[in-house]
Each structure stands twice: as structure tokens, then as C-alpha cells.
Amino acid sequence: MSEINKEGLEARLERVRLRTSQALDDRVKATLAGAGTDAGAEAPSKKGRTAMFRMIRTVGGKLSLAAASVAIAVGVACYLMGSRSIAFADVLEKVNSVHTVRFTQSIPDWKSLPAQDGQWIQRDDGKTRCTFPGGVILIFDLSQGKALALDTLKKTAVFYTQAGWEKPSVPKNFLEQMKNLRDSSHEDLGKKEIDGKSTKGFRARTQGSDWRIWTIWVDEKTELPVRVEVETVRGQLIVLSNFVFNELVDESLFSMTPPTGYKVTENVATERTERYQPESEADLVEGLRAFSIMVPGRFPSEITGAAIMKELPTINRRGVNVESDRASVAIVRGLAFVVRLRLKPDNDWHYAAEGVKPGDASKALCWYRPDGSKTYRVVYGDFSVRDCNSSDLPTAPSK
């Protein structure tokens, strides 16, 4: 470099300008495209800027690099907000720093039934523990595709492993799903007091997830959720409450080794399902068969969500085990098949199983017309299925 004086050096320093790479440009643009903004308070006055600089300096100086992003967020908030008001972005920022969350998950529609609330603990590494009423504990490791079910009353344990497990691209647990919420499409719901805390509400929608609409009530002091209500794609409402964030959780709670004295009754290894299999008539038949086993001697009064829920106490009395687990899956898949049939009048769905004894080949349980078919399919009490012309159909029960 040639020799230069002060002015020349300053001029050269002025000209020094690195250029961002295309990769950085793309990275920033992708980030900006994936996030939204929230119109809100006015920027501070120029006078306020000095205070902002001081605040950023103080806050930033006290934080480590790991917390630098928080310092920036604080700085942005201080600068951009005239008076401090919690924004959804603040909530997402806070949630992103959560490593462990404990909460109660309940389904209000089930409140007329015995308590079904589960006590959940989730970690950001995919480990989850859920304690259900009745002494059943489920421990999941989503990163490994493993689960352990403990029956604390019977002192039994069941292992579940899935061969070829790959971590789902769509978040499967609450914490992950919450962290995947975006600021771009939320609406403010105003303020409300919950459990003695002043909260602010937000509603956000997700895509590609079963948990579709999120209503989140956030403690204005901690900026963390106090109550979360989620509507699933099937219209089910799930309520999460009693949150405790970032508490120290004993590692042993997520241990995949059954406690001393527990008997391992089964190891269930399943193959990874490559793709979702749509429900079929076979699922309907298996669902009816499973129900007749779980609730011996009869069939449900209807195949609707409400009717199945009413039977849960009876099903639960048999305990949660591999048998009931498989039965539950079969019943739910059968229900899903029927829900689809009911949506199309042309399928002409009829159900007549109430009062029919399982195994009775002379009695029809239900019938429907498959898409594009001129004939019907009739399911009988012995779980056989036959084609039938419309003129030969059983008599439908009076409503």
C-alpha cells in the first residue's frame, strides 16, 4: 500500500466497503419472506433515540453472544415502540428460548366424562413425558422414534420402536409446533385476566399441521403463554394450561429404561409408514370388531365422535395396553371412514347396529353405496361384507 497522509487514509477508509455475497442476500431474503411484520406503535422521537442507544448498550453489554439475539430484539422493541406493549413477535421470541415446558392438556368436549387431562413435559430435543389419569405414563423420544408405556398400577412396561424412523418434517409436539408459529398471520384479541394474571391474546393459523388455529393468552409480565387453545383440522378443541417453562427436569423422567420392578410385557416394533393410508371399508370393519372386543357384547349406538367418546370410560376400564392401543387406532380409522361417507349424500350411509349381537350373521350393521357404484356394501354382525342391490337392502331403523 502506498504511503498516505491522514486525509488520504480517511478517504481510503471511507471507500472500504465489503459486498455481501449472493448466499447472504438469499439467506436474508428467505428469512424476511418467512416472517411478517406487525404494524403498531410509532417510532420514537429523535430525542428518544439517545435513550434507546443507551438502553441497547446497557442491555447488549450485559448479555453474552448466546443472548445477543435477545439484546437485538430488546433494542428493536425499545426503538420501535413508543410505550412498551407486548407483541406477538415478543412471544415467539420468548417461546424460542424455551427448552422445557410442562403443561396440562385437556379436551373440553370430554369434560362430561371421567378426567382425561394429561400432564405433559416436553423438551426441545424431542423428549416427551405424559402422565394420564389412571396411572399410565407414556415417554416418547421423537428424535429416535421410540416410546415407552408404563402402567404404574400393574407395574408393566411396553416398548414401542419404529424401524426406519425419521424425524417428522412437520412438528409433532406442542413445543415444536409453537416454535414454528409465524408472526405473519396473527390477529390481536385484546386483554383478559386468566388465573389472576393480566394476559394478552393472539390468534395464529398454521398450515401443514393438524393443529390449525391457535388462540394464545400470554402473561403480560413474562410474555409466555398462560393458556393455549388449539383447534385441530378435525374441529377438535384442545386446551393447554398450567404452564411451567424452563424448569429443571430430572433426566430420569425421560429414561427409556423401565423402573425397577416393572415387567416388560411386550416389545412392539413397527415399520415406518411411508405414506398415510386413507381409511377404507376394511378399517370400518376392523373398527367395529375392535369396539365389540373392547366393549364386549355390543356395538356403538352410532358411529360418531360423540358416541365413541361416550364409550371411553368403558374402554379405559380395560386399561391402556397394546390391545387397547391397536383397538383405538382401528376404531378411530373406522370412524374417519364413516365421517367421509356421511359427508357425501350419494354414499347413502346407514347404521343399524344398535342391539345387534357381535357374530350375528343375519343382522346388518351398516350399509353404504361406494363412490360411483350402483350396488351397496352391507356389513353384517359377523363382520362379513356383501354386495347388495338397493331393492334388497335391510330396513333402516327409524330415527
Partner 1 sequence: MARSDPEGPVRTSPTDIEALYMEHKDRLLTLATALTGHVSAGEDIVHDVFAKLVQDARRLRNDDHVAGFLSVCVRNCALDWCRMRAKQNKLSTAYAACRQDDPGKDPANRAVEEEEAQALLKAVHKLPGELREIVSLKFWGGLSFQEIAELRQTTKSTAHARYSEAIEKLEATVAGGSQHV
Given the rule CB under 8 A, which residues bind partner 1? 1-6, 9-10, 12-21, 24-25, 27-29, 31-33, 35-43, 46, 49-50, 52-54, 56-57, 60-61, 63-69, 71-73, 75-77, 79-81, 87, 89-90, 92-93, 183
User: Smallest distance from the beta carbon of 218 to partner 1, in angstroms?
Assistant: 15
324, 328, 331, 337 alpha-carbon torsion, rounded to 10°: -150
**Edge-to-edge strands of the sheet including 376-380?**
350-351, 364-368, 376-380, 385-388
Among 280, 244, 289, which residue's Cα sits nearest to residue 120?
Answer: 244
How many whole angstroms separate alpha carbon 304 and alpha carbon 308? 6
Q: Minimum distance between the CB of residue 113 and partner 1, rounded to whole angstroms? A: 41
Instruction: Give me the least distance between CB of 58 and partner 1, in Å please.
Output: 9
CA 217, CA 200: separation in Å to the nearest integer? 5
39 or 248: CB nearest partner 1: 39
**Is the Cβ of residue 69 or residue 255 nearer to partner 1 in the bound state?**
69
**Residue 334: other Cβ atoms inside 10 A:** 26
Instruction: Output 53 or 386, the one with its CB closest to partner 1.
Output: 53
Which is closer to partner 1, CB of 68 or CB of 153?
68
Smallest gap from Cβ 211 to partner 1, in A, equals 21
Cβ 126 to partner 1 shortest distance, Å: 24
d(CA 200, CA 221): 10
Minimum CB distance to partner 1 smaller for 75 or for 305? 75
The least CB distance from residue 25 to partner 1, in Å, is: 7
Residue 324 CA to residue 156 CA, distance in Å, equals: 15
Q: Which residues pair with 187 in a beta bridge?
A: 203
Q: Cβ of residue 194: shortest distance to partner 1, in angstroms? A: 24
Smallest distance from partner 1 to CB 122, Å = 23
| CB nearer to partner 1: pick between 14 and 274 | 14
Q: Cα–Cα distance between 199 and 218 in angstroms, integer?
A: 5
Q: Which is nearer to partner 1, 89 or 147 (CB)?
A: 89
Q: Give whichever of 57 and 344 is closer to partner 1, judged by the CB atom.
A: 57
CB of 115 to partner 1, least distance (A): 39
Paired sense of beta strands 263-271 and 156-163, if any:
parallel
Q: Count CB-CB contacts under 10 A for residue 169.
A: 7
In this structure, the strands spanning 146-151 and 136-141 are antiparallel
- Between 79 and 132, name the residue whose CB sits nearer to partner 1: 79
C-beta separation of 82 from 44 below 8 A: yes
Strands 237-245 and 100-106: antiparallel
Distance CA 176, CA 182 (A): 12
CB neighbour list of residue 311: distance below 8 Å, 6 or more residues apart: 291, 294, 295, 300
